[in-house]
Amino acid sequence: MPTTLKATLRALRLTLRRTGYGPELRVNFRGGREATACYTDALDDALGTGREMARQRDAATAATGRPVVSQFERRRSTRSGRLLPSASWRRKQ
């Protein structure tokens, strides 16, 4: 998987992963759920799909006036730099 493709999708706040099933690739939002993932076998299709996903997300942001981000992009741990779920998402005990 070319690093420039992965870097391009990372700049769009998307992830690109190999699924382990042959040449299949998974494109998704950072911290996105399985329902938002897209699968493809071609690198150029992965790039086109990622750009379209980012375009749709940006259009939704413009329509609502608020940024559309996943629960994992809302809050970062200051100690480790890992993405953590927001406090409102966690199960209440």
Where is pLDDT greater, at 18 or 72? 18
Does pLDDT of 60 surpass 90? no
Does pLDDT of 75 surpass 70? no
Q: What is d(CA 52, CA 35) in angstroms, rounded to the nearest whole number?
A: 16
The position carrying tokens 């379209």 is: 52
What is the average pLDDT across 64-92?
52
Where is pLDDT greater, at 23 or 76? 23
Q: How confident is the model at residue 32 (pLDDT cuts 50, 70, 90)?
A: confident
What is the average pLDDT across 41-69?
86
Where is pLDDT greater, at 24 or 81? 24
Show the DSSP H helices in the chain as ranges.
3-11, 43-64
Would you say 58 and 18 are in contact if contact means Cβ atoms under 8 Å apart? Answer: no
- Measured at the CA of 50, the angle between CA 74 and CA 45, to 5 degrees, comes to 160
Put simply, whether the predicted model's pTM sits higher than 0.85 gets the answer no
Would you say 14 and 28 are in contact if contact means Cβ atoms under 8 Å apart? Answer: yes
